[in-house]
């Protein structure tokens, strides 16, 4: 390839020069040729003499032959041609394909034997074509004509044989035959190779036959084909799988539950195999079964049913399958042995544990057993009556009603039932309660004393006893000893730690039976020496003249004591533990104490009581009354009590009076469980000693007022009783005079409970529904309950809450309803909602909220920026706001109002001929410009002239040269235009005057120049 311009320029003359030299060369060659080698003679050459004329022969024609057999070949297949001239070997050969010379440089072409043999590899379809050859003499300049042609066709793809088989069953069975066929379509000359699991097997034919299949023949089969001397191979065929399996073994299933059956029971079999092409044959004891009225065969579902079992049908059953279309028979299935019992068994009952009687709370297990066969369902009987449980084992937690005779029976299927077993008696008794006793005379001891307690049952000796102190189990230790099996508990040396309440219980050996706890025994162990207690009876700190009193001296242990008495530290001559004073007086006033002594004279033990002071008064006391609850008003049905108390001394009995009439009670407390209005009145009381006849003065009166329970009032805190879904509601319940009430709410007679949607304030005064739904629709009422007293009012009046099914519909109305408005126009929108009340209105333009409120929104003078989409929405409520859906959208398009324009109709060319100006008013931007009427203004005042498009300004009607405007008016929309810009006639006239002045100056200037030129010509005459 030449890259520089000079090369391109030189090339043409070089080519011309080459052409000239070539012509000269060929002429010279022709002239110098040997006439013997020339097949024709030029007519300009004189003919030789007859003796010198040689014999001229025609060149022979080579013969082209195919050596490799096939002219229809496939990619990479070898092809071999031979070219020969009969009787001569003095030739070399060249080859052509479709008149194009075959190049030996082609890697897929090989020439041998001076070109007489052409071997090529048909790599691609480009080697297809018509092949011929020519001969060239080795010594003479002679070339033969082209040989005969042979057409070579190279296919696009390597062939792939197809593989078929005579049997397309997924599974073949041993002994069957099969034939495989391998075919290469569209060509011939093939020998075939067969492969089994990738291994070459014998066989060269297009078919491969297996006469009797066995398991070794299983596997993948494919084939290939080869032809030619160079062993050209096709691709391998698709594989086919030959699966050789033994015939399936049928599976025999028992459809009924048991192989051991009783007469008249039903037995069913199913013979299962993995294909429906098999026919089932049944066998009993290896003999084929034939159908009869009892033995029913279902060939379609492979079932065998024996409807009424007898010993005749007892035996071993099996089945076998046969594939009739292929003459294949399976082996026998598994076998099932069916046996028939002659007699029905009788069940037996066993009981665990085998103890009778047993205690309440123990568990007894009865077991019903049938030794023969299986699949039994059991029924239990108590005293001949059927029990509900139907299991083999019946467990009973015993109580006294469980006493009775127990038996069972068994059933199997629908036709087999046994008789009832022998019955077993079961008795039940109560668990005894142990008796706890103390062996000593007292249960209050001093430190170091010993204590022994015993715990015994009335019956049986197989009890083990457990001891408890204050409910905790006691364990034996150095201080506590328990007898064998625990019937006795001994405290060797008592201490304060041993004080408490002792109980015991028994547990029966080897049985889960525990008794109840015994009655308790309180052991008191003092931390120190005993204390002597001086008791006064009556124990009044203050006594009154004439009353009687007695003193008793008491010590912690109950026996063995002697007593000494002292008044004002002076011993009295009394040896008993009691000291009586029949009628007290001032002489008996003073301090009293006693001493207790026990033990021998050598080492007596003394204990002294505390001193008691006796005060004696002369005047009678006066009791006071208190009320509970201490309120001025008590409600009907409420309980109320009054206490009468004498502040001085004690031991009083009380007498009550209502309105002066005695009330039958001696208690200091007068109780009214359910007050009536008749219980209202004035109550007084008087006290007297319960151990003598001393009476106090009468108390002051206490007035009891009984009132009816008030009924609460219910009212609506939110504004509406008809609400919409998700809207909030608040109801209030209250009493008119008392604030100490809590409230209970009801809806349609059912109590309202707090939930996610319903809540109450602290006293349930307010019921709040955060988000109403149809569920909350109903009649609401409330009742009150006093916080501190069990007083409940009646129900209030009813409030009916209506919850609409959906949100309200909002309608937007535009007035006027024009699609297009103009600047300066007025438009009004109305937002309407036709249900409920209390609405506030929200306005939106292009989804942005406006500051307007109210159900009307008016724009008095429209601007183009007012164009947009308008809609409205309503809301109501304060703390929780409810919003309606938004209205439909109203589209408002505001166009600019056309503006009038003043045009001066008087031209500048008329400035010299007129003193008036003609003005024209038009609305150029309007598509209805011909329908306009015009109004003229001078200094913003209307000019009183007929409506016209034009107006003429003259010195007469405008001596001051004012400013003019105009406006268009018409019927239709828009009905008027904007006022035009101001037109100033003063400036215009000034301009006209300036123009006249300039024009005059120019005119006279030209005349002066012209005259000057004439003067110069006259003055400057040539010499």
What is the distance between the alpha carbons of residues 533 and 561, in angstroms, rounded to a whole number? 13
> Could you tell me the two tokens for 848?
């942005």
- Using left for φ > 0, alpha for ψ between -120 and 50, and beta otherwise, residue 204 falls in alpha
CA distance 525 to 522: 10
Instruction: Return the pLDDT at 1021.
Output: 60
CA dihedral (897, 899, 900, 905) in degrees, to 10, reads -140
CB 190 within 8 A of CB 223: no
Q: How many angstroms separate the Cα of 363 from the Cα of each of 394, 426, 428, 507, 650?
A: 10, 12, 11, 15, 59
pLDDT given for residue 38 in this prediction:
34
| C-alpha span between 507 and 513 (Å, rounded) | 6
Q: What whole-number distance in Å separates Cα of residue 95 and Cα of residue 144?
A: 12
pLDDT digits (tens, 9 = 90+) for 740-781: 889 999 999 899 998 988 999 888 889 998 888 889 899 999
**pLDDT digit string, tens, across residues 885-899:** 888 999 999 888 888
CB–CB of 265/413 below 8 Å?
A: yes
* Under 8 Å between Cβ of 345 and 370: yes
In whole angstroms, what is the distance from residue 793 CA to residue 733 CA? 12
The alpha-helical segments, DSSP class H, found in 901-1020 are 985-1019
How many Å is the Cα radius of gyration of the chain? 70
Do residues 148 and 96 make contact, with C-beta atoms less than 8 angstroms apart? no
Give the pLDDT score at 831: 94
For residue 743, give every residue at least 6 positions away whose Cβ sits within 8 Å of its Cβ, in sequence order, or none: 712, 733, 734, 763, 764, 765, 782, 783, 784, 785
Q: What is the 3-state secondary structure of 840-870?
A: EEEEEECCEECCCCCCEEEECCCCHHHCEEE
Phi/psi of residue 253, nearest 5 degrees:
-120, 145
pLDDT, averaged per 10 consecutive residues of the chain (1023 residues), comes to 38 47 43 36 41 68 90 90 88 92 89 89 90 91 91 90 88 89 89 92 89 91 88 90 90 90 91 85 90 85 88 92 83 92 90 88 92 89 88 90 92 88 91 85 72 81 88 90 88 86 90 88 83 83 84 78 86 87 86 74 64 86 89 87 86 88 86 89 88 82 89 87 87 80 91 90 88 90 87 89 88 88 90 87 91 88 90 85 88 88 76 72 69 86 84 77 86 83 69 67 86 84 56
pLDDT at site 30: 38
pLDDT of residue 501: 93
Cβ pair 850, 811 in contact under 8 A? no
| CA pair distance 946, 965, nearest whole angstrom | 15
Take residue 283 and report the two structure tokens written for it.
């066998």
**Whole-number Å distance between alpha carbons of 231 and 499:** 119
| Nearest residue to 161 via CA among 139, 128, 194 | 194
Distances (CA, A) of 537 to 112, 655, 668: 159, 22, 20
What per-residue confidence (pLDDT) applies to 46?
46
DSSP letter assigned to residue 105: T
Exposure string over 977-1012, b if 16+ CB within 10 A, otherwise e: bbebeebebeebbeebeeeeeeeeeeeeeeeeeeee
* Prior bond of 859 cis (ω within 30°): no
Alpha carbon distance 288, 298 (integer Å):
15
Token duo for residue 351: 């009981």
User: According to the model, what pLDDT value does residue 986 have?
Assistant: 62
Query: Which pLDDT belongs to residue 183?
Result: 94
Res 817: pLDDT = 85
User: Within a 13 Å sphere around the CA of 908, how many CA atoms are in the beta-carbon half?
Assistant: 9
Neighbours of 942 (CB within 10 A): 10
Measure the CA–CA gap between 858 and 813, rounded to whole angstroms.
12
């Amino acid at each position: 390839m030449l890259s520089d311009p000079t090369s391109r320029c030189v090339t043409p003359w070089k080519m011309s020069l080459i052409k000239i030299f070539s012509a000269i060369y060929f002429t010279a060659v022709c002239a110098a040729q040997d006439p013997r080698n020339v097949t024709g003679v030029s007519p300009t050459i004189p003919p030789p003499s007859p003796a010198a004329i040689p014999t001229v022969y025609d060149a022979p024609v080579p013969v082209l032959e195919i050596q490799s057999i096939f002219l229809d070949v496939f990619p990479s297949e070898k092809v071999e041609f031979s070219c020969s001239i009969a009787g001569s070997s003095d030739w070399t050969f060249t080859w052509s394909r479709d008149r194009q010379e075959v190049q030996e440089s082609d890697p897929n072409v090989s020439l041998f034997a001076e070109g007489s043999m052409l071997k090529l590899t048909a790599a691609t379809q480009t080697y297809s074509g018509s092949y011929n050859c020519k001969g060239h003499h080795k010594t003479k300049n002679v070339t033969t004509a082209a040989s005969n042609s042979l057409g070579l066709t190279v296919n696009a793809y390597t062939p792939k044989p197809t593989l078929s088989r005579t049997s397309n069953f997924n599974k073949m069975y041993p002994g069957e035959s099969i034939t495989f066929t391998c075919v290469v379509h569209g060509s011939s000359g093939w020998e075939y190779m067969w492969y089994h699991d990738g291994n070459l097997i014998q066989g060269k034919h297009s078919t491969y036959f297996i006469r009797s299949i066995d398991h070794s023949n299983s596997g993948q089969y494919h084939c290939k084909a080869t032809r030619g001397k160079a062993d050209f191979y096709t691709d391998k065929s698709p594989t086919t799988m030959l699966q050789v399996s033994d015939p399936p073994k049928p599976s025999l299933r028992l459809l009924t539950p048991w192989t051991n059956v009783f007469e008249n029971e039903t037995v069913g079999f199913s013979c299962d195999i993995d294909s429906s092409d098999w026919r089932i044959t049944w066998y009993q004891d290896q003999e084929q079964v034939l159908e009869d009225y009892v033995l029913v065969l279902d060939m379609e579902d492979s079932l065998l049913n024996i409807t009424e079992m007898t010993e005749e049908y007892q035996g071993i059953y099996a089945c076998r399958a046969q594939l009739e279309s292929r003459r294949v028979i399976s082996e026998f299935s598994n076998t099932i042995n069916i046996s028939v019992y002659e007699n029905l068994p009788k069940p037996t009952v066993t009981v665990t544990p085998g103890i009778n009687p047993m205690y309440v709370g123990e568990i007894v297990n009865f077991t019903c057993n049938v030794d023969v066969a299986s699949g039994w369902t059991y029924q239990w009987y108590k005293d001949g009556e059927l029990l509900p449980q139907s299991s083999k084992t019946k467990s009973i937690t015993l109580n006294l009603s469980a006493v009775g005779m127990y038996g069972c029976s068994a059933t199997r299927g629908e036709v087999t039932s046994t008789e009832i077993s022998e019955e077993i008696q079961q008795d039940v008794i109560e668990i005894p309660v142990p008796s706890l006793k103390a062996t000593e005379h007292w249960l209050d001891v001093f430190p170091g004393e010993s204590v022994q307690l015993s715990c015994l049952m009335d019956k049986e000796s197989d009890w083990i006893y457990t001891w408890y102190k204050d409910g905790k189990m006691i364990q034996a230790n150095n201080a506590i000893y328990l007898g064998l099996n625990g019937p006795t508990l001994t405290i060797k040396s008592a201490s304060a730690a041993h004080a408490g309440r002792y109980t015991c219980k028994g547990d029966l050996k080897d049985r889960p039976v525990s008794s109840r706890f015994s009655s308790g025994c309180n052991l008191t162990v003092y931390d120190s020496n005993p204390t002597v207690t001086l008791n006064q009876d009556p124990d009044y700190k203050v006594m009154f003249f004439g009353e009687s009193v007695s003193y008793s001296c008491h010590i912690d242990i109950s026996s063995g004591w002697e007593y000494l008495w002292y008044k004002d530290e002076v011993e009295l001559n009394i040896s008993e533990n009691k000291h009586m004073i029949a009628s007290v007086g001032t002489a008996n006033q003073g301090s009293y104490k006693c001493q207790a002594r026990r033990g021998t004279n050598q080492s007596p033990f003394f204990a002294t009581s505390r001193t008691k002071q006796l005060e004696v008064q002369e005047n009678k006391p006066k009791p006071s009354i208190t009320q509970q609850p201490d309120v001025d008003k008590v409600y009907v049905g409420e309980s109320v009590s009054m206490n009468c108390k004498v502040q001085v001394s004690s031991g009083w009995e009380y007498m009550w009076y209502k309105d002066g009439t005695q009330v039958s009670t001696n208690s200091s407390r007068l109780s009214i469980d359910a007050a009536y209005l008749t219980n209202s009145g004035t109550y007084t009381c008087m006290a007297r000693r319960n151990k003598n006849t001393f009476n106090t003065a009468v108390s002051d009166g206490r007035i009891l007022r009984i009132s009816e329970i008030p009924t609460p009032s219910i009212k609506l805190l939110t504004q509406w009783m008809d609400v919409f879904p998700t809207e909030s509601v608040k109801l209030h319940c209250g009493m008119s005079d008392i604030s100490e009430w809590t409230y209970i709410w009801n809806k349609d007679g059912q109590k309202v409970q707090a939930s996610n949607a319903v809540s109450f304030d602290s006293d349930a005064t307010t019921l709040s529904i955060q988000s109403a739904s149809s569920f909350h629709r109903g009649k609401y009422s409330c009742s009150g309950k006093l916080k501190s007293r069990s007083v409940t009012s009646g129900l209030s009046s009813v409030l009916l809450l209506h919850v609409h099914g959906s949100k309200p519909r909002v309608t937007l109305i535009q007035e006027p309803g024009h699609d297009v408005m103009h600047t300066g126009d007025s438009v009004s929108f109305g937002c309407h909602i036709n249900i409920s009340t209390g609405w506030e209105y929200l306005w939106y333009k292009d989804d942005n909220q406006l500051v307007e409120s109210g159900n009307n929104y008016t724009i008095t003078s429209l601007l183009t920026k007012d164009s947009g989409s308008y809609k409205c929405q309503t809301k109501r409520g304060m703390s929780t706001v409810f919003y309606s859906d938004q209205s439909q959208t109203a589209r408002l398009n505001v166009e600019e109002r056309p503006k009038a324009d003043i045009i001066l109709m008087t031209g500048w060319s008329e400035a010299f001929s007129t003193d008036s100006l003609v003005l024209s008013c038009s609305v150029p931007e309007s598509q209805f410009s011909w329908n306009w009427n015009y109004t003229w203004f001078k200094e913003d005042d209307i000019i009183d002239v007929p409506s016209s498009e034009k107006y003429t300004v003259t010195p007469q009607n405008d001596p001051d040269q004012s400013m003019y405007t105009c406006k268009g008016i018409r019927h239709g929309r828009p009905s008027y235009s904007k006022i035009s810009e101001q037109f100033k006639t003063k400036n215009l006239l000034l301009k006209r005057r300036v123009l006249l002045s300039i024009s005059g100056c120019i005119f006279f200037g030209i005349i002066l120049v012209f005259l000057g030129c004439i003067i110069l010509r006259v003055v400057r005459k040539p010499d």
